[in-house]
Amino acid sequence: GAVVSQHPSRVICKSGTSVKIECRSLDFQATTMFWYRQFPKQSLMLMATSNEGSKATYEQGVEKDKFLINHASLTLSTLTVTSAHPEDSSFYICSARDRQGSREAEAFFGQGTRLTVV
Amino acid sequence: AQKVTQAQTEISVVEKEDVTLDCVYETRDTTYYLFWYKQPPSGELVFLIRRNSFDEQNEISGRYSWNFQKSTSSFNFTITASQVVDSAVYFCALHKRGGADGLTFGKGTHLIIQP
């Protein structure tokens, strides 16, 4: 299956600092990547959809200035949590989509990043 | 709008029992995909199955089986002879085929297998 790698797996940062999370598709070109957030004991909620070379589309209620998404290449998307606060502490996970043939790469996710803001 | 309902928040069974996790979905799309994922305590999402809305055949993979009933908009997941390693949160998800949106997830069912 499609391999998606996410880094880092765990990060602790101080309140007010920014954190960058990377999502890479290792064996395919991802025209679209998705970012999800999961609070403890809750479901995964789609935050935004990023398309290579264009601006990300954010879901309602997600602050685009706080969660900066860059999808500069077909294999890499980054999520930057700017001026992080304790309420941003969450599990962030990405998935990537491959439009080649019948592969539905959005079925495969990165390992996730557990962000703790102290 | 799409919606996935997993009514069972938590299920606890003794090892070797069979257990079924329910999933009911709502969509106006005629073509879509349904998924099941396993999320162990480490957090990663483990892909279990993807089912096309055109394919209503039930599927079996080892101890796992899935029952897709389009007439009742359900996609239930059964684990036979459960094991402690099956303990995890299981998510059912829905995606519009060919759509640009991400997956719509249910709230998950926390499955506890007691030794």
Rounded average pLDDT over B86-111: 90
**Per-residue pLDDT at B76:** 97
**Per-residue pLDDT at A103:** 56
Cβ of residue B105 closer than 8 Å to a chain A Cβ: yes
Beta strands at B74-79 and B59-61: parallel, antiparallel or unpaired:
unpaired
Which of A45, A107, A111 lies nearest to residue B47, judging by beta carbons?
A107
**What is the rounded CA–CA span in Å between residue B71 and residue B19?**
22
Tens digit of each residue's pLDDT (9 = 90 or more) over A58-78? 999 999 999 999 988 889 999
- Chain A contact set for B50 (CB, 8 A): 104, 107
Torsion angles phi and psi, residue B48, rounded to 5: -110, -45
CA dihedral for B39, B44, B48, B51, sign (positive or negative): positive
Q: How big is chain B by its Cα radius of gyration, in Å?
A: 14
- Chain B contact set for A49 (CB, 8 A): 100-102
Tell which wins on pLDDT, A113 or B58: A113
Cβ of residue A6 closer than 8 Å to a chain B Cβ: no
Task: Examine the pLDDT at A99 and tell me if it is beyond 70.
Answer: no
**Per-residue pLDDT at A55:** 87
- Chain B contact set for A107 (CB, 8 A): 33, 35, 47, 50
Q: Return the residue in B3, B101, B107 with the most chain A beta carbons within 10 A, the one to mutate for interface testing.
A: B101
Rounded average pLDDT over A45-60: 90
What is the pLDDT of chain B when averaged over all its residues? Answer: 93
Task: Examine the pLDDT at A105 and tell me if it is beyond 60.
Answer: no
Tens digit of each residue's pLDDT (9 = 90 or more) over B18-73? 999 999 999 998 889 999 999 999 899 999 998 989 888 888 999 999 999 999 99
Beta strands at B109-114 and B10-14: parallel, antiparallel or unpaired:
parallel
Rounded average pLDDT over A39-54: 90
**Per-residue pLDDT at A104:** 58
**What is the rounded CA–CA span in Å between residue A34 and residue A90?**
16
Residue with tokens 């938590």: B10
**Per-residue pLDDT at A72:** 82
pLDDT band at B96 (very low <50, low <70, confident <90, very high): confident
pLDDT band at B17 (very low <50, low <70, confident <90, very high): very high
**Per-residue pLDDT at B15:** 97
